[in-house]
Amino acid sequence: MTIIPPAPSAAARTGFTVYGVELPSRLLLGTSRYPSPHIMQQAVAASGAGVVTVSLRRENARSGAGQRFLDLIKEMGVAVLPNTAGCRTAKEAITTAQMAREIFDTSWIKLEVIGNDDTLQPDLFGLVEAAGALSRDGFSVFPYTTEDLVAAERLMAAGCQVLMPWGAPIGTGRGLANPYALRSMRKYFPGTPLIVDAGIGAPSHAAQAMEMGYDGVLLNTAVANAADPVRMARAFADAIHAGREAYEAGLMDVRDMAVPSTPVAGTPFFDIGS
């Protein structure tokens, strides 16, 4: 008899919807720090990501080099999510976002307002201020935030339809530093798209986030700095699929005491000595 396994869950294999747009993948990928543009292209293709983030400051899109980079992104057929990386004030982030909209021809913006140089932790006060101003100006804001529930409520009241809490400080690779707080955020905002952003260092970290019920993961350094970025991108894609599939299948409850997988009642007893 031939056993045919069931088809993978469509929801696990496809993306999710944010700001009325269905993303083709639950993995969003950064475009910096790769060994070469060609390897970056290959990694994005291997990951299956349909959205890549681009820093306006880093790429300097008005220059010849920036234009070549933008042409490279367009060749890949993916959506661009510009970010305001490096901005320290709401005013600076708003100005950068307006420039990005003009250059990249998109109203999507990953909003970063950094408040601490050592941890690159978001300035939540400036973040809420900038999010409100940009939402009123017609932007679709993807705010890089912490797990703070009060800040999350303020961001949503400011017009954000998605939240992007950090897993750990940017570039640390420490994974989910505060799983309890991330679980709380997931339960507190059950109908809001949530994307873990920053600090992801291994595919297992991404799978953990997906098992919690998060809608997506955004990462960069873990792929770009790998010995083989293309294979690592593929590994992250597989981990995200597995984590989402596990979440939808229903993870078993954690117990304090052992529970036998084979029931004791009715177990045959053999007396070897008789």
Confirm if 44 and 233 have CB atoms less than 8 A apart. yes
197 closest CA partner among 111, 123, 97, 136: 111
Q: How many CB atoms lie within 10 A of CB 167?
A: 29
| Strand 21-22 versus strand 17-18 pairing type | antiparallel
Residue 209: half-sphere exposure toward Cβ, Cα within 13 Å: 35
170 closest CA partner among 83, 72, 229, 93: 83
110 closest CA partner among 201, 48, 19: 19
Exactly one of 74, 91, 110, 187 is catalytic; name it. 110
Q: How many CB atoms lie within 10 A of CB 65?
A: 11
Task: Respond yes or no: is residue 110 known to be catalytic.
Answer: yes
Give all strands (DSSP E) within 112-259, no chain letters: 140-145, 164-165, 195-197, 216-219
| Catalytic residue ranges | 110
